Structure 1
């Protein structure tokens, strides 16, 4: 197997550091949701507008900036995204009006959408296929470290300071990442497609983003469902027209790549569950079980501790047998998620929630390197940014879907608080989604066997 140099180890840590603050922001803000509800005098349903806008801008921006990354190179997009992230965090902290806060949170989402396609493109070009699982394992370990620090640090900050301090901390962390990346990430002209003309798909990106946002409001506001659905379908229609007649946002004929499509379905199902638990789990502990924010942060910490501990091993397992590793991880996640149902009946013992987040962390850590490797190796190398931007769009749009689909009924009769009944129904649906994801692993295994048989038959000598 190819040896990994010290420089490559430093490079993967540098690449991962770019999304360090972004990952921390998700866990920090999930703990701070009750504080945001009080600060802006809103309820949980209104709070979901932030999640809908953030995850939609982030998700739609991924294939958009992925296409630009293939054109100009990942280093430029990576550094630009970090700079914009720093600015948006500082401005979010200064906002006193809900509208201004939403604007700069949307800006932060666009910054994240610039950084993520650049990271996977750098990994694709800097590491051989035989070490790609290893690289994603280290990448996952660095991100897990961010989620270790995020909940604990977020809980401590909220215990001592106002919620605005969270954004100043995030801005400082991103500034360190920016300086580190400026020094360590090399200029590499071979990672660009400068000889090809790339038309920026402005209209496709805007129409798709509008359609997704409007569809979330269709799910969130029952009183105006027909109006939101009609406008959403119109926006999606404009997107489809633009894809056919103008600059396309999505890779051409990507729907013919069966393995890639199966990976897209799987990542949607998996991250619907991941984002649902991330959005509502901390608030469930605070509102239903009456835990203080710092205790919530320390319990969630176990998820990330597992991620850091075994991420490298999970990456190596992904290089050896990605389907078996991924199927095992999903099975463990099913058990961990289902255990939430036990706590709905009033059981708030510390060890139960530690076990839940331990199993969730173990399952996710085993699943993600294999999932990313399978998706990435199924697409053309020269279109890595565009394809993986689409893949990540599907992955992260689940945050908006989770907010829109569950935001209206997870809240109880007491406005601004999570209910046990709504949360239990959410968990039941999540278990069903994970079972669906496990079925896609079986299909992938079947597809792999079929392709292997076709390859063997094609090389048999003719009589």
Structure 2
């Protein structure tokens, strides 16, 4: 049902080129995803400057991801109700102002609070980008459009640490947030001019679902991340169990809600949508988790500056960017299990290879080949998986589908940040080392370990890299079960094809 206050529908795609609108959306989307990983390279600087431990600094990332993940389920519906363009612009405004707050704060508690608000702004932005693409591009052209969107997601999460390293080295950690202010303003102007107003639809909002999902996620993530700090006492296990119980209640409520559930379980009747959500959850987990031990290892063990540490990721980012367009074209023709299956296999192999190469005295150039392989894998997962998730969904479910897909990705990222913090602490303890909290200053400007402890620290960080690799095996299994998309434009002249 179209609401009385609806704006006029956007012109058909054959009357107006949708690509400028997509490019405008990708700028804002790029900015908020960079902030998912940009803090990883600044972790040692934040530990020293704000006098915090590594677990507290990981909360700077976790708070953002948690505030991003929980409301994204309902913000997709808000876009359907009030217009995705309007919600996108509102999200940009909140995100940009919160970024200014982040840069001005002088305490770890203030930074975490500002990151929560930043995450709320990001939650408003993300589902609107995906829903607008679904609505302004016809199915037979959506593969290339979603390829650019997916490549933006992949590149942003990789560029975050690179950009962060340069800014931390030259201007200070505050500038990893200040940089968002001019970028956010530019993204706002471009979206105002280029993104069309789209038809809106009346919705009921599932507030009990919002409450249950929020409480469940908070209890689960807080319990996992603070478990080591609280010595895995009864309170920790009670929080984790309580979080899981609340999430079970959330799913049960979604099944019983006959009006408009926050997560329409009917979406999961589409096999590809269900599998793509599993796959992207593991990607969110892995990409967030792998950057933290790698950046700490580079700065603490190898005494690299933040910029030089971040440059380790350049081969990965360059390869992902270079392959974005050709992989996007293949997304409209090649069976998704072939592309994503290869991509997941490449990423798993690259992380195991990286773990083996993380030594205190080996050549840093031995990291380049696994980084190149990681970039190839990223290019073959982000865009094809995003395209596969939405390809078969009806347009009326665009907002709900986008919200669910982005929520699962962010849930993976939240759990990745929380889990890697726990594992790093555990591995350091197993190696007979204290939890990392800075030390003697070296070339990196942060804590550098004395030589006798360098091997033990390297072993701990390398072992931590194997966690995201193991989680990605679940994503690989999901990708290998994709079926052939059903729309008539897939695969060129072959038509709809049959599931396979």
Aligned CA distance change for structure 1 residues 316 and 347 (closer, same or farther; 3 Å): farther
2:452 maps to what in 1?
Answer: none
2:96 is the counterpart of 1:77: no
2:320 is the counterpart of 1:289: no
Summarize the alignment of residues 189-208 of structure 1 with structure 2, pairs less than 5 Å apart. 189=199, 192-193=200-201, 196=202, 198-208=203-213
Between the aligned partners of 1:319 and 1:10, the Cα distance in structure 2 is 21
Displacement after TM superposition at 1:7 (Å)? 3.5
Secondary structure of 1:410's counterpart equals helix
Q: Residue 340 of structure 1 is aligned with which of 340, 346, 354?
A: 354
2:373 is the counterpart of 1:359: yes
Secondary structure of 2:196's counterpart equals coil
2:49 is the counterpart of 1:39: yes
2:74 is the counterpart of 1:54: no
1:435 maps to what in 2?
Answer: 473
State the aligned residue count: 444
Displacement after TM superposition at 1:264 (Å)? 1.6
Q: Residue 266 of structure 1 is aligned with which of 279, 292, 295?
A: 279
2:119 maps to what in 1?
Answer: 109
Deviations 1:67-109 (A, max 9, x none): 1112222101110000001111011112223222211101111
Q: Which moved more, 1:44-53 or 1:385-394?
A: 44-53
Displacement after TM superposition at 1:242 (Å)? 5.0
Question: Which structure has more helix as a fraction of its residues?
Answer: 1
2:133 is the counterpart of 1:123: yes
2:216 maps to what in 1?
Answer: 211
Secondary structure of 1:186's counterpart equals coil
Question: 2:29, 2:152 within 8 Å by CA — same for their partners in 1?
Answer: no
Secondary structure of 1:419's counterpart equals helix
Deviations 1:390-422 (A, max 9, x none): 111111111211122221231322332693333
Displacement after TM superposition at 1:139 (Å)? 2.6
Q: Taking structure 2 as the reference length, what is the TM-score of the superposition?
A: 0.82
1:239 maps to what in 2?
Answer: 250
RMSD: 2.7
Between the aligned partners of 1:333 and 1:234, the Cα distance in structure 2 is 33
Between the aligned partners of 1:425 and 1:319, the Cα distance in structure 2 is 38
Aligned CA distance change for structure 1 residues 402 and 115 (closer, same or farther; 3 Å): same
Displacement after TM superposition at 1:6 (Å)? 9.0
Summarize the alignment of residues 111-260 of structure 1 with structure 2, pairs less than 5 Å apart. 111-143=121-153, 146=156, 150-189=160-199, 192-193=200-201, 196=202, 198-220=203-225, 221=227, 222-223=232-233, 224-233=235-244, 235-236=246-247, 239-240=250-251, 242-243=253-254, 244=256, 248-260=261-273
Question: 1:268, 1:394 within 8 Å by CA — same for their partners in 2?
Answer: yes
Question: 1:34, 1:416 within 8 Å by CA — same for their partners in 2?
Answer: no
Question: 1:140, 1:307 within 8 Å by CA — same for their partners in 2?
Answer: no
Summarize the alignment of residues 411-450 of structure 1 with structure 2, pairs less than 5 Å apart. 411=425, 412=428, 413-416=433-436, 419-445=457-483
Between the aligned partners of 1:263 and 1:313, the Cα distance in structure 2 is 21
Q: Taking structure 1 as the reference length, what is the TM-score of the superposition?
A: 0.88
Summarize the alignment of residues 77-96 of structure 1 with structure 2, pairs less than 5 Å apart. 77-96=87-106
Deviations 1:239-281 (A, max 9, x none): 3565435863111433433332222222222322222113332
Displacement after TM superposition at 1:237 (Å)? 5.8
Aligned CA distance change for structure 1 residues 269 and 199 (closer, same or farther; 3 Å): same
Aligned CA distance change for structure 1 residues 206 and 420 (closer, same or farther; 3 Å): farther
Between the aligned partners of 1:434 and 1:148, the Cα distance in structure 2 is 17
Secondary structure of 2:482's counterpart equals helix
Question: 2:127, 2:403 within 8 Å by CA — same for their partners in 1?
Answer: yes
Unaligned runs of 5+ in 2: 1-12, 438-455, 487-495
